[in-house]
Homo-oligomer: A and B are copies of this chain.
Amino acid sequence: MERKEHKIMVAVDQSQESMHALSWCLSNLISDTNNKKKLVLLHVQPPPAVCSLDTAGYVFAPEVIAAMEKYSMELANSVMDKAEAICRKLNAKDIIAERVIGMGDAKNVICSTVLKLDADTLVMGSHGYGFFKRTLFGSVSDHCAKHAKCPVIIVKQP
């Protein structure tokens, strides 16, 4: 029986840390081209019409929402382009990376995408935030390390 293709999902965002995690993955997990491996780049956008500070549930005017969505999509494309540039730089010939853009709360979307795409390994950066930022954002990697249904690799910036 042929072994199924090994699917590695890397969660990427605009942080240097996530790009470092991708580089680590390419150098350490995908360097062995004899194995069948597939790379999935996952970027999660925030849910529409909710900005990260919108805890009070503000409602925005349609043009503001449209501008935020446009910005969000441009950011996603820029993150993906940067990630693919790293793939080309480190693995020019072999790797075809699939782009997946999710929307919602990053930690939940990452875990559910692991399930949905049946990923074998999840790779992500661990933001080196201080206390305040960690309280707000830092729990994504903690949450995924606990809840994702596959091995999780947390790569820190050296």
Point out residues on A near B: beta carbons under 8 Å: 6, 21, 24, 28-29, 31-32, 34-35, 121, 126, 141-142, 145-146, 149-156
Contact = CB atoms under 8 A, between A and B. Distances in A.
B31 A35 contact: yes
Specify which of A21, A35, A145 lies most central, judged by the most chain B CB atoms within 10 Å of its CB.
A145
Given A146-B126, A146-B142, A151 B24 contact: yes
B145 A28 contact: no
Contacts of A141: 145
Number of copies: 2
A121 to B, nearest CB: 7
A154 B155 contact: no
Given A31-B32, A31-B35, A32-B32, A155 B146 contact: no
A29 B29 contact: yes
10 contacts: A24-B151, A28-B29, A31-B32, A32-B34, A126-B146, A141-B145, A145-B145, A151-B156, A153-B153, A153-B154
B146 A150 contact: no
A145 B126 contact: yes
A40 to B, nearest CB: 16
Nearest to A151: B155
Contacts of A6: 28
Contacts of A126: 145-146
